Amino acid sequence: MTTIPQPKPRLQTQSLARFCNGPKWQLETLRALREPLFLWVTHGQGRISIAGSTRGFHPHNAIFIPAGVMHSFHAMTRVQGVALHLGDVHGLELPDRPLHLRLRDGGSQVEVSQMVDEIQRELDSNKPFADRAVKLQLGLLAVWLERHSVENSDDFRLAAPQNANERLVARYTALLEREFGSNLNVTDYATALGVTATHLTRACRASCGRTAMALLQERRLFEARKLLAETRIPVQDIARNLGFSTPGYFARAFAQQVGQPPSAYRKAHLRQGAIH
């Protein structure tokens, strides 16, 4: 079986305008990143789902998502700000739970803007010891997040599961992110979580408007798009690695969601020079 490549996470910043200009499927599919993500919204509004719970975001919202936590992003207007991919954070003490902070006072807004600007400035500079400076700035950001997770306890709870449905979906999405490449079905996941498949699906609908099967299928096909566009792994190996019972079933599921079969999707990206 072909091994799915895992690129090394790296520290990088990206404007939210560019972040939101990515393909809709990349933003709106619940999936997890291998590195923590910090979002600082300065303009615009939309919805963000974290671990299966959906919340609105607005200007002066700071959002932190730990590595491995499933999330999706839907911009309802033009959004501006910064997305900070934290890369390899070895030795950095970051919160282990998601944060959604609504900063109401100007002092806090200026503080986080300055930290993000300093990180960007050091990343862009060719100055000696820039790497050390970036790590120190990231340390300050980590402390800021920890402080606000305590001082803004009402905001902190916004990204934490609120009720039994959201707690169950948070557990499901965490398990799903670890096991989506297996051949487990919704009943298997429900059994592992100690509930019925019907109960799990009902909780998913209530929490994020999707069924449990839809979350599983979307996550698998999200990975399939990436592998088809970015690698030369054979289609049958992609199907097998992502838990589809047969290549034919994978092709039908892919075509139903994407609008074209896997081979045509790959050829289109090959013409664009996207495969390395």
Walk me through the domains of the chain, giving residue ranges and CATH numbers: 11-158 (2.60.120.280), 164-271 (1.10.10.60)
Determine the longest span between alpha carbons in the chain, in angstroms. 58
What is the pLDDT at residue 197?
97
What Å distances lie between residue 22 and 16, 74, 113, CA to CA?
Answer: 10, 11, 24
pLDDT for position 40: 97
Alpha helices per DSSP H over 79-163 = 106-124, 130-151, 153-158
For residues 9 and 249, which has the higher predicted lDDT (pLDDT)? 249
Give the predicted TM-score (pTM) of the model. 0.78
What average pLDDT score do residues 113-118 get?
Answer: 94
What is the pLDDT, as a whole number, of residue 34?
A: 82
CB burial of 11-44 (b: ≥16 within 10 Å; e: otherwise) equals bebeebbebbeeeeeebbbbbbbebbbbbbbbeb
Give the pLDDT of residue 1.
39
What's the rounded mean pLDDT across residues 224-235? 92
Which pLDDT tens digit goes with each residue over 83-96?
A: 999 987 767 888 88
